[in-house]
Amino acid sequence: MSLLSSRVDIRGIFTKAGVAFVEAGKNVKTGNINIKCPWCGDADPSFHMGVHPEKLAFACWRDKAHRGKNLARLLSRACGMTYGEAAILVGQRAAVNDDDFTKLANGQAFDAAIDTDIAALRPDHLDFPSAFRKVFDAKTAGRFHRTYLRRRLSAAKDLASVFDLRYCVTGAWSGRIIVPYVLRGEVMTWTARAVGKSESLRYLTLPEQDSVRTAKELLYGEDNCSGGALLLLVEGPFDALNFYHCAKSLACDVVAISSASIEDAQFERLRVLSKKYDALGVCLDFGYPAQQMRAVNSLEVLKKPVFLVPLHRNCEDPGSAPDMYLRRGLKKALKKIGV
């Protein structure tokens, strides 16, 4: 037994976090304890992930991509804690930046020793788990989620219907608004926004190997784009949702690129989609002027006029901006193209 493993009480951590485990049974190897794989979720609710208390390693018997020796990654996902908190519990002290926290916790950064082709593991079809319910389905259990959406978005009920927003109250996605990424009517992946302040991660994203396509291969809201005066690029889904009705009323559409940068796959989608519009606009979160200019410069090769859509100085991002400020920014851009 290593010195590190002797200091890590896996059973105690799981018990305190309310994670059920078994120490004997059909799939339990001698010396292991088994839990339900937090990445498989509802796809297989059995106790099919083995955790070795001495080697501090874990292995899902259903999906080899859900295996590794970074126990902090498992604890952050299974126990609902931040990656930093989990790292401290298992004696890790190395600095990890915020992006890596999210990737590690979401299962997007796997151990280097695991030789797996994630693209080959992806499904060709994706269905919502049964625990994902429509936000405005009149169930009492979703009242906090409905309240959150009404506070964040005007015309929240209509937006929830158009974009098929869901909520969840059990399992790894509990306490979150589920935001699906859809392409040609089919769900490709989803991200989930925490409703309560106590959640460890504000956003939790379906891992790459469980997605048909990842968020960075898609443009959020593309299915709702019909063409017009201007196609607006924003960062996150809630930015796009908040801009949606304002943009439509001005013959514009809005898509989110799910970060402040445009990936190659997204650029190709923009190249095709941009043909439906007279111009392109960029409105990223306040405080990122370098990223905004980089996005503007990269879009100029599409041979369309590209404009910055300014946010009011009191607005941190489009997702929290009042409609009057969104409308004002869009009108300024449209005026430049003579609309």
Average pLDDT of the residues in 281-298: 82
Options 3.40.1080.10, 3.40.50.1110, 3.90.980.10, 3.30.70.2190; CATH for 133-217 is 3.90.980.10
Q: pTM of the prediction?
A: 0.66
The DSSP 8-state label assigned to residue 120 in this structure reads: H
pLDDT for res 119: 58
Identity at 267, one-letter amino acid code: F
- Distance from C-alpha of 292 to C-alpha of 185, rounded to nearest angstrom: 30
Where do the CATH 3.90.580 domains begin and end in the chain? 3-116
Lowest mean pLDDT among 23-32, 149-158, 257-266, 320-329: 23-32
pLDDT for res 35: 92
Where do the CATH 3.40.1360.10 domains begin and end in the chain? 222-336
- Distance from C-alpha of 86 to C-alpha of 73, rounded to nearest angstrom: 7
Which residue is it, tokens 């926290």?
A: 101
Check residue 132 and give left, alpha or beta (phi > 0: left; psi -120 to 50: alpha). beta
Lowest mean pLDDT among 46-50, 119-123, 213-217, 328-332: 119-123
Class of domain 222-336: alpha beta
Q: How confident is the model at residue 164 (pLDDT cuts 50, 70, 90)?
A: very high
The 3-state DSSP class for residue 182 equals strand
pLDDT tens-digit readout, 205-219:
998 888 999 999 999
Query: Is CATH 1.10.287 the classification given to domain 3-116?
Result: no
pLDDT for res 118: 52
What is the layout of strands, in order, in the sheet containing 277-282? 252-256, 228-234, 277-282, 306-308
Nearest-10 Cα torsion for 164, 169, 171, 174: 70
- Distance from C-alpha of 225 to C-alpha of 83, rounded to nearest angstrom: 37
Q: How confident is the model at residue 18 (pLDDT cuts 50, 70, 90)?
A: confident
Does pLDDT of 19 surpass 70?
yes
pLDDT tens-digit readout, 20-59:
999 988 778 888 899 998 888 777 778 889 998 877 788 8
Lowest mean pLDDT among 34-43, 174-183, 227-236, 239-248: 34-43
Q: What is the mean pLDDT of the chain?
A: 83
Greater confidence (47 vs 291) lies with: 47
